[in-house]
Structure 1
Amino acid sequence: MKYFIIQIITLFAIFNFSEQVFQQNDLIQENDKQNQHNQQKKVLLLGLDGLDYRQLSNGITNGELIGLSQFTYQKSYCGGEIGTPTEQPVKSGPSWMTILTGNWMNQHHVSTNLSGPTQETKSIYRYIKQANPGSNLAIVSHWSVIENKLLRNDRQDIDIIQQILSDENDNNIYEKWLRTLKNGIPDFTFFHFNDIDHSAHLQGFGETVNTKIINADKVIQKIMLKIKELISQNQNLDFLVMLVSDHGRDKYGWTHGNTIKQYYSEKLTWIGTNQPQIFNDEFFLPSTAPIQKLNSIYNFPPITNIVPTILNYLEIDYKKENINGISMIGDIGQ
C-alpha cells in the first residue's frame, strides 16, 4: 500500500511538472510572437561600386578592413548567364538596375550607364511603397545616374534623396545618412559608394584604390556603430545590413565590360550580410548550375537575389514570376 501511494505521488509530481513545462513553453512562444510583432525592421543596402572580390578578401584577411570584416560574405555574379536571354553587359548601369529590381536586362532593358528602364520596370522602392504606403524610404547616392536614370520610374516612392555632390566624396556618405535619420529611421536605405570604381578606372589596382577602400571601410564602421547606438535606445529595432558590388574588374583593375566577351574576374562579385543566421542555403551552399563555365561561377547566388531577400525579410509578398532572383531568407526556392 505504501509503495502504491508513493507511485501515485510520483505520477502526480511528474504530471504537475509536465504541465508547468507546457505552460512555460506556451509563455515563451507567446513572448516570441509578441517580440516579433514589436520588431521594427530596417534595411540598409550598401553598394560599393567596383570593389573587386580579390581586394575585399585580401583586405579582410590582412586586417585592414575593420568595418567590412563584420559581415559574412558569399561570392556572387553579375552579367547574367552567357548565351541566354539573361546575358547583359558587365557594367554599372545594367548591374545596379538588376540589383535594385531583382531582374536581368531582358526585363528592365537598361543596357548602358546612360539608359533608363522601361516604364513597366519596378524597383525595390515601388515594391515596398505599394505594400506599405506609409513606409519611409531613402537613398544616399554618389552617382546621380542611379536616382535620375535608373530609378526614374520610382522617384516619387523615395521619401529622402541625399546626393554626394561633385565637390564631395564617399567620406560624406555618413553625414548625409545622418540627415535621413532626423525624422525617424527609414525602413529601407540604399547607399552608393563611387570613389573606389572611379579611382580604379583612372589608375588600376594600387595604393590610391586601396586608400579609397579603407576610406569606405571607415564610413561603414561609423554606420555600424550608429546602428548599435540606435538599438541601445530602442531594443525593438532589427537591422538587416546587406552589402553588394555591381561588378568585378580586369586583371589590372582598370576596366570591366569593355569587350563582348565576359571574363571571370569581371563577372565575379559578392554579397555580404550582418545577419547570416537568418540566411538559407541559397546563400551558403554553392549549387550545381546547369551551365558550368567560368570556374563554375553560376553555382553562386546572382545579384538578382538581393531584392527578393529584402522583401522576404520585410515580410512583403510579391509575385515570384515577376522577379528573376530567389530569396536567400526563408524557405529555399522562394
Structure 2
Amino acid sequence: MMHRTCYIVFFFVLSLAFQAKAQEKKALFIILDGIQRELLKKNPTPNLDEIADRGGYYEAHVGGEAGGYSETPTISAVGYNSLLTGVWVNKHNVKGNSIRQPNYHYWTIFRHFKKQYPDKTTAVYSTWLDNRTKLVGENLEDTGNFLLDYHFDGLEVDTLGYPHDDKSDYINKIDQEVAAYAAAEVAAKAPDLTWVYLQYTDDMGHKYGESPQMDQAIQEADRQVGLIWDAIKMRENEQGEDWMIVITTDHGRGEGGFHHGGQSEAERATWIVANRKFNEVASQTPGIVDIFPTIASYLDLNIPKNQAMEVDGISLLGEAYASHLRGTLSGASLKLNWKSYGSGETARVWATSTNQFRYGNSDLYRLLGEVNLDNESAAFDLKANYNNLKVVLELPSGYANVWVSNAD
C-alpha cells in the first residue's frame, strides 16, 4: 500500500511538472523596418499569413497624437523605442536615429521582465547595433547595468566582412544572417523574451520607393520571418511551450514610398500581425505603444503602479475597458472623453500638474473622482487653473493617460 501511494504521489508531481512546462510562456517580437500597409497587402507573404490565421492582422499607427503633446516623429529609432517602452517621444526622448539622450526612467519591456524574472532569459538579434547598446541600453549605469542573456548584432560595423555598397546588398546579407541566427537560437535556447530587427526593407524604400525592389525585399522579409516561425512551431510541438509572436513595422512612408518622418496619414499608417486574437481595442487602429502592455500582459508582468500609470499603450489581450483617452483644459474646467467597450465598469480619474517622473522622482496625484466608462466622457471643475495636467484613467485592469494643456 505504501509503495502504491508513493507511485501515485510521484506521478502526480510529475504531471504537475509537465503541465507547468506545457504552460511556459515565451514572447518574441519582430520589427520589419518601413513596410507600408498597401505593399504588405499587395505582396505574397505566406508566413505572415499563416501567423495571422492563428491570430490576426491589425491596422495600427505610429506618431502619437497628431498635433498633440505626444506627437512623435515617424522615424525608425523613435518607433522602436515607443514599442520597447510603451510611451511616445515626449517621454522616452528618442527624437531621431542618433539616439542622443534617451530617458531611461521609462523602462524597456526587457528591463521590467528581467526585474521580475531574473532567472528567465532575454535576447536581441538585430541588424543595427544601436538597438541593443543605446535603446535597450545594455550595461549602462542609467539602465542599472542591465544585461541581455543572448545577442547577435553589429555586423554592419564589420566593413571587411560586409563591405558597404550603394545597393545595400550588405544589409540584405546581414538580415539573412540575423534571421537565421535568431531561428537557430530560438530552436536551441528558446529565450523567454526576444526582439528581432530586420532593416533591408527600409533601405529599399528609401532607394527605390514603391518598386519591384521593395516588393522583393518584403517577400524576402517574409521568408526570414518564416525561419523564426518554423523554430517557434518546433518548440511548441516538441517542448510544449506557449509562444506569442508579434510582427510590426516602425512607420509608414510618404508619397511614392520613399521617405518618412512627418505626420501624414500614410507615414503614420502601420500594421501588426500576431498569432493571438486581440481584443476590441485592436479594431480602433492601435498604436505601436500598445504592443508593450500586450506583451507584459501575456508574460504576466506586474508593472509597478507609478510606472504603469506612465505607459501610453493599452493591452490588446484580456478584457477591453477603454482606450483613446483625450482631454481639453479651459480655465479650471477639465473635459475628458474616451472610447468605451461596453463593460459597464467604473474607473477612477487621477491628475497631477507635475512631471517629476521624467527625472526619476514621483508625482503627487489628486483623485478627481469616479466615472462610468460607458458614458465615454466626464467633466471636472478643478477649482484652480493649471497650465498642464497629466491625467490618468485607472481602469479595472491597467491605465490610460493623456497630457492636456490649458487653452486659456
Pair in the same fold by TM > 0.5: yes
Quote how far apart the aligned CAs of 1:148 are: 2.1
After TM superposition, the structure 1 = structure 2 runs for residues 250-289 of structure 1, keeping only pairs within 5 Å, are: 250-257=254-261, 259=262, 262-276=263-277, 279-283=278-282, 285-286=283-284
Between the aligned partners of 1:181 and 1:253, the Cα distance in structure 2 is: 33
| Mapping 1:134-149, distance limit 5 Å | 134-149=119-134
Q: In the TM superposition, what whole-angstrom CA distance separates every residue of 1:210-237 from its partner, at most 9, and x where no partner exists? A: 11111111111222222222222112x0
Give the TM-score taking structure 1 as reference length: 0.79
Indicate the residue corresponding to 2:49 in structure 1: 69
Q: Could you give the per-residue CA deviations for residues 110-167 of structure 1, whole angstroms, max 9, x where no partner exists?
A: 1111124123231010010011011100011012221122122557331111116122
1:203 is matched with 208
Q: Distance in 2 between matches of 1:216 and 1:164?
A: 19
Partner of 1:165: 155
Shift of 1:57: 1.3
Matched positions, count? 280
Residues 164 and 173, structure 1, Cα contact 8 Å, conserved in 2 = no
User: What SS does the corresponding residue of 1:75 show, helix, strand or coil?
Assistant: strand
Gaps of 5+ in 1: 1-30, 287-299
Q: Percent identity?
A: 28
Q: 1:37 to 1:183 in 2, by over 3 A?
A: closer
Residues 187 and 231 in structure 2, CA contact (< 8 A), matched pair in contact too: no
Which 10-residue stretch deviates more, 101-110 or 143-152?
A: 143-152
State yes or no: 1:225 paired with 2:230. yes
For the pair shown, the structure with the greater C-alpha radius of gyration is 1
Indicate the SS of the match to 2:201: helix
Distance 1:244 1:328 in 2: 14
Contact 1:164 1:170 in 2 (8 A): no
- Whether the 8 Å CA contact 1:114–1:149 is kept in 2: the answer is no
Shift of 1:87: 0.5
Distance in 2 separating the partners of 1:272 and 1:229: 20
Asked if 1:317 is matched to 2:317, the reply is no
Query: Which one-letter code corresponds to 2:281 in the other structure?
Result: E
> Equivalences for 1:121-140 in 2 at 5 Å?
121-140=106-125
| Whole-angstrom distance in 1 between the partners of 2:290 and 2:104 | 22
What residue in structure 1 maps to residue 6 of structure 2? Answer: none
Structure-1 residue corresponding to 2:75 = 91
- Distance, in Å, in 1 between the alignment partners of 2:20 and 2:281 is 24
Provide the secondary structure at the position in 2 that maps to 1:189.
Answer: strand
- The CA distance in 2 between the partners of 1:79 and 1:190, in whole Å, is 21
Residue 52 of structure 1 and its aligned partner are, at CA, apart by: 0.8
SS of equivalent residue, structure 1 residue 240: strand
How far apart, CA to CA, are the structure 1 residues paired with 2:129 and 2:210?
A: 25
Q: 2:29 aligns with which of 45, 67, 70?
A: 45
- Flag the structure with higher strand content: 2
Q: Residue 14 of structure 1 aligns with which residue?
A: none
Q: Which residue identity is paired with 1:228?
A: K
2:74 partner SS: coil
> Where is the helix percentage greater, Structure 1 or Structure 2?
1
Q: Residue 7 of structure 2 aligns with which residue?
A: none
Question: C-alpha offsets along residues 260-295 of structure 1, whole Å, 9 cap, x if unaligned?
Answer: xx100000001111121xx21112x32xxxxxxxxx
Question: Which stretch shifts more, 46-55 or 146-155?
Answer: 146-155
For 1:134 and 1:183, the matched residues in 2 are separated by 17
TM-score under structure 2 normalisation?
0.65
> Alignment partner of 2:245: what SS?
strand
Tell me, in whole angstroms, the C-alpha distance in 2 between the residues paired with 1:162 and 1:118: 25
Which structure is richer in relative contact order (CA contacts within 8 A, separation 6 or more)?
1
Correspondence 1:331 to 2:330: no
Whole-angstrom distance in 2 between the partners of 1:39 and 1:264: 41
Partner-residue secondary structure (3-state), 2:319: coil
Show the counterpart of 1:308: 293
Distance (whole Å) between structure 1 residues aligned to residue 204 and residue 81 of structure 2: 22
2:352 aligned residue:
none
**Over aligned residues, Cα RMSD in angstroms?**
2.1
Counterpart Cα distance in 1 of 2:270 and 2:134: 23
Q: Is the 8 A contact 1:125 1:137 kept in 2?
A: yes
1:197 aligned partner, one-letter code:
D
What is the deviation of 1:84? 1.4
